[in-house]
Structure 1
């Protein structure tokens, strides 16, 4: 994981003063802006359907089981992380310290079956497609995801995401090929530029294992 390696190097060379370096500050500001825009444009949950209030799931046990598993993973990571050296513990312990309270809060909400909480959202129950026929279910989109992962394993992330954008947009939109290619170029171009700025390599597949390809295909 390159991000973990870079964090180790930053802490080793600059100590915690690396948090005040320009690149880190820029990333932090962009993150805060993204969170702010997301929170500002998030639905309030007060919108009602034309024929009444949207139905809400009444059984949150499946979510509670999953949340408990997530809490266990972060707790395990924290316990294991503190047993390593300082540099070895920085990355896992830092992530677990941030995520463990969040996961714990989510587990509490789901375990108490607080159906009125914003965490209680099941697209299968309250999505716009609810009650309609011939609407793809969860398995359909999981198949798309599995196909994308399989493509990454075969030809690498960059080629896989390019093909995924093209095929998915063609299958699920009425856009022309010109618009699809334009949107794919913009999306993949943004990811590529961001990767170049942050000096990251995309995950490779069997193609990259047997053939030496130039970046970003490598």
Structure 2
């Protein structure tokens, strides 16, 4: 978004038609489509916050403390973005926009937390479930994503993500190998298509420092 705005401003300096040509270019259209789809799916999924059934709450103190920490971080990010010099004002656009929206969301959520009772869906906490119901614990879940980061540093993001998706869907979600491979391939293809459209590379790993690989494995 930040780069798109910078490029758009440069194009509009050249002329109106050059600017409009960039606005309706595939890159901008893809960004708009991704944003719209994310908002629509987010609103739909928000109605199914307890799609898996009743989830117990663990009180209001821990969620409020966590939200307070997140809010403090957002405020610090907002102040840091506002301090960007005027000659680089375009660099302020993205962080200020995101931080402002995040701060508004935190404020709204804080008000809701103060007003809602402790057993409300807002405080649903699967970790508070009895051990027999809580099949996947917090640390086990974090270990999966830590493994993804570690593997990415070794073989690069795309190879690590492919291995992660297949194993996660197969063992964590309990689906068949065929299902896991097909869904992983579809996900990788979608990510690569976006990266190709936006002319982006993926984070390399130690393997890429020793072996020259074609895109998107670079």
**TM-score, normalisation: structure 1:** 0.76
Deviation at 1:146, TM superposition (A): 0.7
What SS does the corresponding residue of 1:75 show, helix, strand or coil? helix
Name whichever structure is richer in helix by fraction. 2
Whether 1:36 and 2:28 are equivalent positions in the alignment is no
Alignment match, 1:9: 7
One of 66, 69, 72 as aligned partner of 1:66: 69
* Range with bigger deviation, 178-187 or 55-64: 55-64
Q: Please give the residue correspondences for 1:15-164 in structure 2 after superposition, counting only pairs within 5 Å.
A: 20-23=23-26, 24-43=28-47, 54-59=55-60, 60-81=63-84, 85-110=88-113, 112=114, 114-115=116-117, 119-125=122-128, 130-133=129-132, 135-164=135-164
CA distance in 1, matches of 2:139, 2:50: 29
2:171 is aligned with 1:171: yes
How far 1:151 sits from its partner (Å)?
0.9
**Equivalents in 2 of 1:47, 1:6: separation in Å?**
37
| Structure-2-length-normalised TM-score | 0.76
- Please give the root-mean-square deviation of Cα atoms over the aligned residues, in Å: 3.2
Compare 14-23 and 69-78 and name the one that shifted more. Answer: 14-23
In structure 1, C-alpha distance between the alignment counterparts of 2:163 and 2:59, rounded to whole Å: 39
Structure 1 window deviating more from structure 2 (40-49 vs 152-161): it is: 40-49
Query: What residue ranges of structure 1 are gaps of 5+ in the alignment?
Result: none
